[in-house]
Amino acid sequence: MADNSDYYPRLLEQRRAEAATRGMAKMPPDFYSATQAFLSQLHQALEKELKENPTSKKVEFIRSQYQRAKAHARDVMDWRMGKIAALAVQAVAVGAEPENILPEERALFDGLVRELSGFRNRTNPFLEAMPLPQPLEIPEKQPKHASTKGEPAAKSAARSKSNQVVVRILADGLPFVTGDGDTLELRKEDVAALPERVARILVEEAKRAEYVVVA
C-alpha cells in the first residue's frame, strides 16, 4: 500500500482553497482517489493500533487525525456539490460551461443538467429558447377577441410571414427567452408577435395573453 502519510497538509490546503472561492477551486485530477486512499490508510492504521496497543497515545493521535481528515474531505465535497448544482441551473438558463470540474464531478453535472432541462421543458414549455419577436404596428384601440367575417378571434389573429401571432400580455412578469439566450419580462398590456405555437400556449393553456386581431 502506498504511503500517504504526507497527504493531510495537502487536504487541508485544498479545503482552504475551496472555501476561499465562489467558483470551483482548481483541484488535482486525483483528488477523490487520493483522498479516499488516505482515509483508508488512516482507518487501517487505527484498527491495527487498537488491536496491538489500544491504550497507547498513538491510538488517540491516529483517531484524531482520521476524524479531522474525514471532516475536511466532507467539507470540500459538500461545497463542490453545492457549486455544481448551482452551475447546472446556470447552464440550463444561459448555457454556461463549468470550470475546474473533475471527471467524477462532470458526470454529476451532466446528469443534473439533463434532469433540470427535462423538468423545465415539461413544466414550462414557453420558456424554451425561441427567436425574439419583431414588434408590429397595431392600431391604438382594438376590440378584445374581435372577429372578422364571422371567424373566431383565434383564427383571425394577425400572422406575419414567419407564422407569428400577435398577442396582448395580460399579466406582469411573464418570462420570455430569446434565441440569443437573453431572458426578457413581458409586462401587462405589452403587444408582441410570437411564434404561433408559443402564442397558443400562452393564450389557451397558461391564460396569460389574448389574441390581437389586426384590421
Structure pTM? 0.55
Per-residue confidence (pLDDT) for residue 15, from 0 to 100: 95
Contact 199, 167 (CB under 8 A): yes
Per-range mean pLDDT, top range of 32-36, 157-161, 173-177, 204-208: 32-36
Q: In what order do the strands lie in the sheet with 209-211?
A: 191-195, 164-169, 209-211
- Give tens-digit pLDDT for 164-189: 778 777 776 556 555 455 555 677 77
| Mean local confidence (pLDDT), 15-27 | 94
Q: Which three cell numbers stand for residue 138?
A: 397595431
User: By the 8 A CB rule, do 116 and 89 touch?
Assistant: yes
Distance in angstroms (rounded) separating the CA atoms of residues 166 and 158: 6
Q: Which fold has domain 7-123?
A: Methane Monooxygenase Hydroxylase; Chain G, domain 1 (1.20.58)
Please state the domain extents for the chain. Answer: 7-123, 125-215
